[in-house]
Structure 1
Amino acid sequence: MAAAVLLVAGCEGDPAASKGKDSGKPGAAPVTAATATAGASMPALIGKKSADAEALVQQVTTKPVETRSAYGDVPLAADHTQWAVCFQTPAAASPLAADTAVELSLTAPGTPCPAQAGAALRPSGTPSPARTTVPSKAPAPAPSSAPVTPKPKSSPTPAPGPKDVTYKNCAEAKAAGVAPIHRGQPGYAKHLDRDDDGIACDK
């Protein structure tokens, strides 16, 4: 009887007997992504391209990155890998757990960041750039239905004589068949237009 008690006590006290065996009691937690990133902090992403920023975030968190346009009136493009980060949540250097959700606000290449996320790129009160308008041709006037009064017939204008021709008197002009001579016509001269009415040799 005494030998049996000693045998049992020896087995319980032998450290080799329990070495490597699972006692069934809860022990250390398994290594997970959360414990692997314990003590991680949020990287600085502002100014980086979306593709590079997401790659950095995926090293410290298991959740997918949420991306949106930094402007409330500009939709996010389907392919925004080249868009730049303007705002990030959480802020840079903030403690980061593996299941922390990360949000990035982006702007298209060549577009400056707004003062705050969600601002309008084109405020409603801002006038749009003036467009250069080309004046269209004026429409032709519609034909008038009013009766057209015929213009009075003017007296036939005598055929002009040769250029630089001069006449000594009206008799000579009448003989040439050019009288009366209006001012501006060849042969007109003040000495032929005595009443200075613009018509020479009209009497």
Structure 2
Amino acid sequence: MSAHRGGAMAAAVAAAVLLLAGCAGAAAPQGKDSGGPGSAPAPSGSGPSMPGLIGKTSAEAEALVKPVLPKPVEARSAYDDVPLATDHGQWAVCFQTPAAATPVTGDASVEISLVAPGTPCPAAAGASLHPPKGSSPAKTPVPSADPGHPKPKQPKSGPTPAPGPKDAAYRNCAEARAAGAAPIRRGQPGYGRHLDRDDDGVACD
């Protein structure tokens, strides 16, 4: 009798366990948390990007920017020495900021550098179209004489004395003056190095 009662209790417990398991499975939610087909897709989207303006006229560039950014386009001359014309609608765009395809926000500012029709773009914004003429090359200084080889002194200008005898020789300038031969130039009769103390080519001067 006791064994029969124990077996009935075991069967009742097993039935209760199966019933609870089935309820738990039915209560499991199906939706976004399970990662199944009911999951909500992640939001996606991208902001506006900067249009390409280089090569366009100023008027075309402003028309392209207007739908993207509310701020007016800031225009300037691409050359530092060329003022921007008041009516620059047909000037061509050489440089733009931000660059093309750059993502922009609603408060971004747009700058374009322009050149007049028929004028080539510079290599960089702010260059000079008419650079100042270079200063004339400095004159090459004349090299000074080698201090180790000074130039010989030039004879002093002065009246040419009467030529003396071909074999004249004077021991000193007193004799030359007494003979009326002073001053005596180098190469003239009577000239001697002992009479030309300053070696300027004129003795007894």
Q: Shared fold (TM-score greater than 0.5)?
A: no
TM-score by length of 1: 0.43
Which structure's CA Rg is the greater one? 2
TM-score by length of 2: 0.43
